[in-house]
Structure 1
């Protein structure tokens, strides 16, 4: 019996398949990958919900023939995706905290930010980034629709508006006399369905001499690393620079620079402003995209086959361990883990449980596969033979954190870019 055989399928009347590109409105869309029907990746279950029907939504990726934007085909409304109980708290990820602090300090120095500046962050979560500006006496404003993380931000002195950002809220803030010297939006550009309404908000709120920076998963890394587990309903888009330039230009914003980042398994930091000034670095990256054919169907032709290969390889590897009487747990109740495990469709006895450092997740259950989420201490007190690291983009950090687990004889595993054991000595 597999996980899929014990799920009760339910559809949501509020969702639906798109008929045109969300950015340029072209109606010609090519299917790139179909991961089947899946639950919402961050919709962790409470114990009392285990007997309740769980809604599943199609998880399919399509490519716009006009602007080359890769996007999921299903529209799930934001109030369902990012509700009050949204469980993601950025401050539980040390690598992200260090990355964000470095970014903040660099901006303070480069832009000469001070008490007369205003830094606005969209999807500010629990204040993990903006608190670095607050420490230096720089006015900030966070905007986030999830009340749990937003209240956590306010508790540490980060002013936060609990709302969705877009043209409407931007106009309200400008009417209050606010104009942003710097606007930041990390890992949210891919999460917004009405992307034109969202980007127009930046054009309105940004000061004429201000800059906006976006960090988001880069579609080139998605394809090259076969990181299909970053595909879930919250991620509406998988951006290339070629697809972003017309989107920003539509709202009077110019792409001026882009920088590759290692964070989250491969991301892009994009800088835009109301004045042109494209760097040589950005032009080189755009030329590389063109040479790859990154906005054309041929570039994605074998992507689906590689994804199937990862699924089949994971089934074979974990099945062999299980048949040999070995025990297996997973680390990290992350959204990408939900995509991977639901697509892998493993027999129910394969993985015993998932551990997570986020206390807000412990005691709940992974969506779809319904694996219990337990504290990380269990890895030392009751170690399993194998530990599958689901947030593989933080694998190096996790292996170091959980050194006691390997000392107990446990072996770390990862599925992306291919199923394998992790050699601790190599980390």
Structure 2
């Protein structure tokens, strides 16, 4: 795939209501999940954008920046929402700037889940827990602390090294059917397998699900977490869309995907995490279904989530959100207010590039991750500083790009707020707190 390359001239608005005719060739020939070759219904085009986590060094600012189409479509056959372009995973994940442990919310949520599963599944020293895309060990460390053997599988070499240093055994590789066969041949079968926020990143969904089934013990449990497409649409969470996120799941889409490969969704929970997520529990054929699964599947059908019409006005609603946010930011600038942003995140990159928010509005971005500090945001080229810069430079307002961790960040920034600093939460509608 050859990306387009554009010169670095600052932010430009990319929102379009439907894919441009010149980019029609980017629409997938077949659905990523079911393989159906029927037409995929357009939902939203965000134009061509840089990779959301491709943070820049100062030296790279003068170089041309690759951009890729970012178009969202719906498969009427299996109800999977997906983007049409696939960037090679080696380009996205081999050196990755996202470390889960920088979020207290993520670590706390993982700890609570693990303590529950260890008790419910009666896990101990003779068990094995595997996590796909295990990041820096933020989740598996809690099993380790309880004496349960673990194996992380993480393709980003820089992150895998951090996990190993933390004492979490980690295999640096992409998970799929081939790796699953090697693990099974070595007798490494999982009593519990976690796949948190990874299925959305997978181009070949069938191969990964087949691999999951291959490494699962006969009575084993798979625990999957994904952003919930219903919340994405209902709450205008368009900034969840970026090139790493290939798929956006309903429970129906997950149920069909796992069912096609001999697995059953046995239970489901709705979570507030990441603006609204699903946690599904999956077992082999014959696993009983909970009432919660049956009820949510029925509810999705009743509200029309499986029909193209549900998504028809999403682009217009995103365009309206952009108008509301830009009006607020420009009004504040006209009053002489100084603005910055919090969170050099992938979702922040989508929001800034889609709405054309750059250095003419924001002075800088702060982020808690030391890995990101000293770099620049893709497309908009804003400097990334430590959070201490909010107290040092004292902008009047801060655009909260990582709004999905709003409660955690607002608490951390109590000193800045005590001195009169205000935050702008952009989604689902702009509000000042």
TM bucket normalised to smaller: over 0.9
Structure 1 runs (4+) deviating above 6 angstroms are none
* Matches of 1:166 and 1:241, distance apart in 2: 22
Q: What is residue 12 of structure 2 aligned with on the other side?
A: 4
Q: What is residue 432 of structure 2 aligned with on the other side?
A: 421
C-alpha displacement at 1:68, in angstroms? 1.1
* Matches of 2:249 and 2:378, distance apart in 1: 26
> Which of 226, 234, 245 is equivalent to 2:236?
226
* Matches of 1:184 and 1:374, distance apart in 2: 33
Q: What is residue 131 of structure 1 aligned with on the other side?
A: 141
Q: Mind listing any 5+ residue stretches in structure 1 that lack a counterpart? A: 6-14, 423-427
C-alpha displacement at 1:4, in angstroms? 2.4
Q: What is residue 29 of structure 1 aligned with on the other side?
A: 40
Match status 1:87 vs 2:71: no
Q: What is residue 258 of structure 2 aligned with on the other side?
A: 248
> Which of 340, 346, 354 is equivalent to 1:329?
340
SS at match of 1:258: strand
> Which of 160, 173, 187 is equivalent to 2:183?
173
C-alpha displacement at 1:347, in angstroms? 5.4
Match status 1:374 vs 2:382: no
SS at match of 2:12: helix
Quote the RMSD (CA, aligned, Å).
1.3
Match status 1:298 vs 2:309: yes
**Given the two structures, how large is their TM-score scaled by the length of structure 1?**
0.95
> Which of 123, 133, 140 is equivalent to 1:113?
123
Q: What is residue 216 of structure 2 aligned with on the other side?
A: 206
C-alpha displacement at 1:2, in angstroms? 5.8
Q: What is residue 6 of structure 2 aligned with on the other side?
A: none
C-alpha displacement at 1:17, in angstroms? 4.2
C-alpha displacement at 1:324, in angstroms? 1.1
C-alpha displacement at 1:276, in angstroms? 2.5
**Given the two structures, how large is their TM-score scaled by the length of structure 2?**
0.93
SS at match of 1:165: coil
* Matches of 1:170 and 1:417, distance apart in 2: 40
Q: How does 1:215-364 map to 2 (within 5 A)?
A: 215-274=225-284, 275-346=286-357, 348-364=359-375
Contact residue 120 and residue 142 of structure 1 kept, 8 A: yes
Match status 1:196 vs 2:212: no
C-alpha displacement at 1:342, in angstroms? 0.3
C-alpha displacement at 1:346, in angstroms? 2.6
1:199-257 CA distances to partner (integer Å, 9 max, x unpaired)?
A: 11001000010010100100111111110000001000010111122211111101111
C-alpha displacement at 1:37, in angstroms? 0.8
Contact residue 16 and residue 76 of structure 1 kept, 8 A: no
SS at match of 2:297: helix
1:123-154 CA distances to partner (integer Å, 9 max, x unpaired)?
A: 10000000001111111000010011111000
C-alpha displacement at 1:397, in angstroms? 1.3
* Matches of 1:51 and 1:347, distance apart in 2: 16
* Matches of 1:201 and 1:373, distance apart in 2: 39
* Matches of 1:121 and 1:203, distance apart in 2: 13
SS at match of 1:214: strand
Bigger shift: residues 402-411 or 163-172:
402-411
Match status 1:398 vs 2:409: yes
Q: How does 1:144-183 map to 2 (within 5 A)?
A: 144-183=154-193
